[in-house]
Chains A and B, each alone.
Chain A
Amino acid sequence: MAQDIDEARTQRYIEVQQSAEFGELRAKFRRFVFPMTALFLAWYFLYVVLATYAPSFMATKVLGNITIGLILGLLQFASTFAITMIYARWADRELDPAAAKLAEHMEGGSLS
């Protein structure tokens, strides 16, 4: 009996996984997070490489004792905060409704 339920559940998971809606959700998620990850890693390592190989450029004073290095460092904070906000807003709006619909179908509703 329990095995039948498990069997049915597994069938449902496979059915959902192969549905067009799930394929879209997965593609949408990956299209957002993969490029974003590449972007922030590239920007972070650019900063690290500048700090290690171009220290005199980083030491250039812009205003008083405020250096380019400090500004670029603070921009790392700014970009981290910005990506966090952009992702959270996007996920709340785009990801959650689609995910909720599929989850509902998994728990017993129909896919339409």
Chain B
Amino acid sequence: MTTLAPMATQVGNTTLNIVIFGLFVVVTLAIVIRVSRQNQTAADYYAGGRAFSGRQNGIAITGDYLSAASFLGIAGAIAVNGYDGFLYSIGFLVAWLVALLLVAELLRNTGRFTMADVLSFRLRQRPVRTAAAVSTLAVSAFYLLAQMAGAGGLVALLLGITDRTGQSLVIAVVGALMIVYVLIGGMKGTTWVQIIKASLLIIGAIVITVMVGVKYGFNLSALFDDAIKNSGGSDKILQPGLQYKNPIDFISLSIALVLGTAGLPHVLMRFYTVPTSKEARRSVVWAIWLIGLFYLLTLVLGYGAAALVGPDAIKAAPGKQNSAAPLLAYHLGGEILLGVISAVAFATILAVVAGLTITASASFAHDIYAHVIKKGEIDADSEVRVARRTAVVIGIVAIIGGIFANGQNIAFLVALAFAVAASANLPTILYSLFWKNFTTRGALFSMYGGLASALILIIFSPTVSGVATSMFPTANFAWFPLNNPGIVTVPLSFFLGWLGSVTSSEHNAAKYAEMEVRSLTGAGAEKAIAH
């Protein structure tokens, strides 16, 4: 056992961290090149040939979902704020039941590559696809920025790079690597990166949990005792209320979390990588078990970090809260375990960013370019060429955005992505799958209304200005009292979807019949391609 490193400086062995991460890159790149030899068609590039099994896709979904924010962020929130961090993780898990029961299978049967395929199925193609693509790009952009901003903070902690130029350089390297993965691997390669990353992440979390468990004889209550002792002797860390002071604000956040997941475009796109709706169901079942297991482990990691490292030491470390899990790894397993956990954290960012890039590039190429600009008169090869070019552009934008967003609050950007997904996407997804009288006007009202109201309320919320923790603490133009807009914007978006639909009449009986039969029976759904 090593002793605790001096805080406020970098911990571990930088060379070792870089070597382990380099190893991850080399191994995954080799696998990506191997599996991508037959990346020819649009279904290959966008959907990995629809040839993944439910289990593989479930693990990949886990990899996509457990971003740096949830891995480092939730462990850190539990370490510092105790119970409230745990409360947060429950919303992220329960949200998957919406995807399982209402969305995954029907979406898989109806669509081809993007969320817009389903939303525009029986409505007017061009306006609905445009709106769906706009909101896909908005959600992906916020999520992407959060990941890239997180990379900067992580570098400070793990590689000891504290000056902004050095951090920017690392962000650029992460971005460039991600572009390479996406260009070579398409969805197939990206999926394998997710699978490897998710496996490493869960194994790493199990190892640390077992090490904490051995220390406390697998007695949760004894672990809490030490965590309390280290948190100034107060058992407030076992109660709700340390992080979320405003009840309405927390309920609002919960709404965004529980309804946002099934509206995240990069999660939805993953359902197209399996051959049937039954395998889509299997995917979600696997994802729920793995994500649930991971959050249970995070509970031990978080309280373990509080007990063994201590909240004050964590808050004083360069990455602040986000450094709880790496510091715990260092405390328990020294440089080697820290190196492994650091590499996993980097891999996490790399994999999530790759998944987001492929989603955003697919939405632009398939929805905007092929269907809106070219009105569907374009061959699949040119469409994929456009998608690849878009991926490069998005990668470059993400690098530049990441450099500017470096140091921004990651949780804020992720909560923003969930709020927009829950407000702009989910109501329209549910209406178009389940409500016969839904119309184009309803879809446009709901998507643009949800997107605009979420953005406006966030801009005028305390997250952006008015209090010490805001993005702009010195300015004050906040008139909306809540940090998360979900409690207003989600019901508003459902209302607008209804209002738009009852004030217009549009019913394409043939397309509606096709969509209903297809979504429930799988007749006519896209098949896997065999190589």
- What is the distance, in angstroms, from A95's C-beta to the closest C-beta of chain B? 8
Residues of B within 8 A of A52 (CB): 240, 244, 247, 250-251
Residues of B within 8 A of A45 (CB): 251, 254
- What is the distance, in angstroms, from A51's C-beta to the closest C-beta of chain B? 4
Nearest B residue (CB) for A30: B434
Residues of B within 8 A of A33 (CB): 101-102
Interchain CB contact (< 8 A) of A36 among B91, B93, B101, B254: B101
Contact A67 to B523, CB < 8 A, known contacts A17-B517, A33-B101, A80-B96: no
Query: Judging by beta carbons under 8 Å apart, are B251 and A48 in contact?
Result: yes
Query: Judging by beta carbons under 8 Å apart, are B90 and A77 in contact?
Result: yes
Assess whether B521 is interfacial by the CB under 8 Å rule: yes
- What is the distance, in angstroms, from A7's C-beta to the closest C-beta of chain B? 9
- What is the distance, in angstroms, from B1's C-beta to the closest C-beta of chain A? 25
Interchain CB contact (< 8 A) of A99 among B96, B247, B509, B521: B521
Interchain CB contact (< 8 A) of A77 among B235, B247, B295: B295
Interchain CB contact (< 8 A) of A80 among B83, B288, B434: B288
A59 to B112, CA, bound (A): 48
Interface string of B228-252 (1 = CB under 8 A from A): 1000000100111100100100110
Nearest A residue (CB) for B284: A84
Q: Which of A48, A56, A87 has the most chain B CB atoms closer than 10 A to its own CB?
A: A48
- What is the distance, in angstroms, from B86's C-beta to the closest C-beta of chain A? 6
Query: Judging by beta carbons under 8 Å apart, are A84 and B100 in contact?
Result: yes
Residues of B within 8 A of A37 (CB): 97-98, 101-102
Residues of A within 8 A of B235 (CB): 59, 65
- What is the distance, in angstroms, from B287's C-beta to the closest C-beta of chain A? 10
Kindly identify, within residues 79 to 96 of chain A, every residue whose CB is under 8 Å from any CB belonging to chain B: 80-81, 83-85, 87-88, 91-92, 96
- What is the distance, in angstroms, from B219's C-beta to the closest C-beta of chain A? 8
Contact A65 to B228, CB < 8 A, known contacts A77-B93, A81-B292: yes
Interchain CB contact (< 8 A) of A22 among B87, B296, B520: B520
Interchain CB contact (< 8 A) of B239 among A41, A59, A107: A59
Query: Judging by beta carbons under 8 Å apart, are B520 and A80 in contact?
Result: no
Interface string of A33-47 (1 = CB under 8 A from B): 100110011001101
A18 to B436, CA, bound (A): 14
* B-side interface mostly: helix
A37 to B433, CA, bound (A): 15
- What is the distance, in angstroms, from A52's C-beta to the closest C-beta of chain B? 4
Query: Judging by beta carbons under 8 Å apart, are B87 and A73 in contact?
Result: yes
Assess whether B129 is interfacial by the CB under 8 Å rule: no
Query: Judging by beta carbons under 8 Å apart, are B94 and A99 in contact?
Result: no
Nearest A residue (CB) for B250: A52
Interface string of B509-531 (1 = CB under 8 A from A): 11011101110111110000000
- What is the distance, in angstroms, from B436's C-beta to the closest C-beta of chain A? 11
Query: Judging by beta carbons under 8 Å apart, are A65 and B251 in contact?
Result: no
Query: Judging by beta carbons under 8 Å apart, are A102 and B247 in contact?
Result: no
A17 to B523, CA, bound (A): 12
Query: Judging by beta carbons under 8 Å apart, are B258 and A41 in contact?
Result: yes
Nearest B residue (CB) for A25: B520
Q: Which of A9, A87, A99 has the most chain B CB atoms closer than 10 A to its own CB?
A: A99
Query: Judging by beta carbons under 8 Å apart, are A49 and B251 in contact?
Result: yes
Nearest B residue (CB) for A79: B94
A18 to B509, CA, bound (A): 11
A58 to B83, CA, bound (A): 10
A14 to B222, CA, bound (A): 64
Kindly identify, within residues 173 to 213 of chain B, every residue whose CB is under 8 Å from any CB belonging to chain A: none
Contact A102 to B521, CB < 8 A, known contacts A65-B225, A67-B239, A73-B86: yes
Assess whether B472 is interfacial by the CB under 8 Å rule: no
Nearest B residue (CB) for A67: B238
Residues of A within 8 A of B96 (CB): 80, 84
A37 to B295, CA, bound (A): 22
Nearest B residue (CB) for A21: B521
Assess whether B224 is interfacial by the CB under 8 Å rule: yes
Q: Which of B93, B101, B224 has the most chain A CB atoms closer than 10 A to its own CB?
A: B101
Residues of B within 8 A of A91 (CB): 105, 281
Nearest B residue (CB) for A98: B521
Query: Judging by beta carbons under 8 Å apart, are B285 and A84 in contact?
Result: yes
Query: Judging by beta carbons under 8 Å apart, are B510 and A88 in contact?
Result: no
A23 to B284, CA, bound (A): 26
Assess whether B220 is interfacial by the CB under 8 Å rule: yes
Assess whether B289 is interfacial by the CB under 8 Å rule: yes
Contact A14 to B513, CB < 8 A, known contacts A51-B240, A70-B238: yes
- What is the distance, in angstroms, from A76's C-beta to the closest C-beta of chain B? 5
Assess whether B2 is interfacial by the CB under 8 Å rule: no
Interchain CB contact (< 8 A) of B238 among A14, A49, A59: A59
Chain A interface residues toward B at CB < 8 A: 9-10, 13-14, 16-18, 22, 25-26, 29-30, 33, 36-37, 40-41, 44-45, 47-49, 51-53, 55-56, 58-59, 63-67, 69-70, 73, 76-77, 80-81, 83-85, 87-88, 91-92, 96, 99-100, 102-103, 106-107
- Which 6 pairs of residues, A with B, have the shortest CB-CB distance? A64-B221, A106-B523, A65-B224, A52-B247, A59-B239, A103-B523
Chain B interface residues toward A at CB < 8 A: 83, 86-87, 90-91, 93-94, 96-98, 100-102, 105, 220-222, 224-225, 228, 235, 238-241, 244, 247, 250-251, 254, 258, 278, 281-282, 284-285, 288-289, 292, 295-296, 434, 509-510, 512-514, 516-518, 520-524
Contacts A/B (CB < 8 Å), 6 sampled: A22-B516, A48-B87, A51-B240, A65-B238, A80-B97, A81-B289
| A-B contact sample (20 more), CB < 8 A, given A48-B87, A102-B523 | A37-B97, A37-B98, A47-B90, A48-B250, A51-B240, A52-B247, A52-B251, A53-B247, A55-B239, A58-B83, A59-B235, A65-B235, A70-B83, A77-B93, A83-B97, A84-B288, A88-B282, A92-B278, A103-B523, A106-B521
